[in-house]
Amino acid sequence: MEGPAFEAMPPHKKLRGSEGAIVAYTEAPEIRSSSLPSSTLLLTGHTGSVYALRYSPNGQTLCSTSFDMNCLLWNHQSNEDIPESYHNYNVLSGHKNAVLDCHWCDDETIVTCSADKTVQLWDANTATRLRKWQQHTGIVNACDTASEQSVVSASDDGLCFLWDRRQKSAIGTLASDYPVTAVAADALHVYAAGMENMIYCWDLRQQAKVYGMKGHTDLITCLALHPEGTHLLSNSMDHSLRSWDIRPFVTGKNRHSKTFVGHKHNAEKGLLKCSWSRDGSMVTAGSADKMVHIWDEFSTEELYLLPGHKGCVNTVVFHPHENVIASGASDKQIFVGELS
């Protein structure tokens, strides 16, 4: 049985449809805009659906999580120890069910959450588990890092737990009446959402709700903070991607900033991810139509519609320093490619 590998895809140029979206590829002279060994790479190795992708803050490592209960770590650039870019150099193995989300605490430490009801902390260099938190009583759908030392997790049990990397038990609890399916955090606030179709902002100093953001009409599947912390992105089963202004001086209905449309959710009810580009100029979201959708944040125009996957695209993430995007899907595959 062959192990994880990558496959270089042929050079391509964009063909645009009637509305300007990229709909196909054809061979053309290759113009490079990143350090990738090829303009598009296909990563294989997972034996189940890929649910989450996250780059480390320095951009040197990509972590992928899967239904196969494992997390694979891929090096973005070749080095003396690993001569091939996107070689799978470590496997985080220890969860007992699907791994649904992950986030980097720093360049060497990553937190994961799973349908096995646990949140786990890992050393990415040695692939050893540093912590295993087991206080949730339901599936843990999402996690985020509030700081290098603190983590937040969201679960079907209606709770968001706050964790300190140095502590064995939760240091705080944010309780909701409904399952929580999405969470994002910074040093002062936690943003949580789920089956209530509302996004709530919690003040970590008070551990209390301070306001809510209403607009989605179906379950919210993912939340993502703008790189500068000024806006929040939300993906929902109502087939919309929305941005919200979370700056302190903005209030009420004025928080809803923009709506992006074109991607799809389906009967599988997957928790499809969303993310911002490194400078906040583009947004992207998972989609059940097997396509990668990328929008211009300023105009809300769809810039790219990228084919290739053979199953629902569950997660899409931008590289933090290069013009590169990675996508993972229910077809068990990961694509990494340049954007023109």
Task: Report the candidate in 285, 292, 321, 326 with the shortest Cα–Cα distance to residue 309.
Answer: 292
Task: Report the candidate in 112, 168, 164 with the shortest Cα–Cα distance to residue 141.
Answer: 112
Task: Write down all domains in the chain, each with its CATH number in brackets.
Answer: 5-20+33-338 (2.130.10.10)
Q: Whole-structure pTM over 0.75, yes or no?
A: yes
CA pair distance 119, 111, nearest whole angstrom: 7
Are 99 and 140 in contact by the 8 Å Cβ rule? The answer is no
Question: So what's the pLDDT on residue 53?
Answer: 98
The pLDDT tens digits of the residues spanning 18-64 come to 444 444 444 455 667 788 888 999 999 999 999 999 999 999 999 99
Vertex 193, ends 289 and 100: CA angle to 5°? 55
CA pair distance 237, 271, nearest whole angstrom: 9
Question: So what's the pLDDT on residue 16?
Answer: 43
Question: So what's the pLDDT on residue 58?
Answer: 95
Q: What residues are paired with 16 via a beta bridge?
A: 22
CA pair distance 141, 150, nearest whole angstrom: 18
Question: So what's the pLDDT on residue 29?
Answer: 53
- Encoding tokens for residue 33? 């805009």
CA pair distance 24, 308, nearest whole angstrom: 10
Question: So what's the pLDDT on residue 30?
Answer: 62
318: left (phi over 0), alpha (psi -120 to 50) or beta: beta
What does the mean pLDDT of the chain come to? 90
Question: So what's the pLDDT on residue 84?
Answer: 82
Task: Kindly give the parts of the chain with pLDDT less than 70.
Answer: 1-31
Residue 107 has phi, psi (to 5 degrees) of: -70, -10
With residue 209 as reference, give the H or E element that holds it.
Answer: strand 208-214
Nearby residues of 13 by Cβ (< 8 Å), 6 or more positions away: 25, 26, 27, 28
Question: So what's the pLDDT on residue 335?
Answer: 97
| Burial category of 305 from C-beta neighbours within 10 Å (exposed 0-12, middle 13-18, buried 19 and up) | buried
CA pair distance 339, 318, nearest whole angstrom: 10
CA pair distance 165, 253, nearest whole angstrom: 37
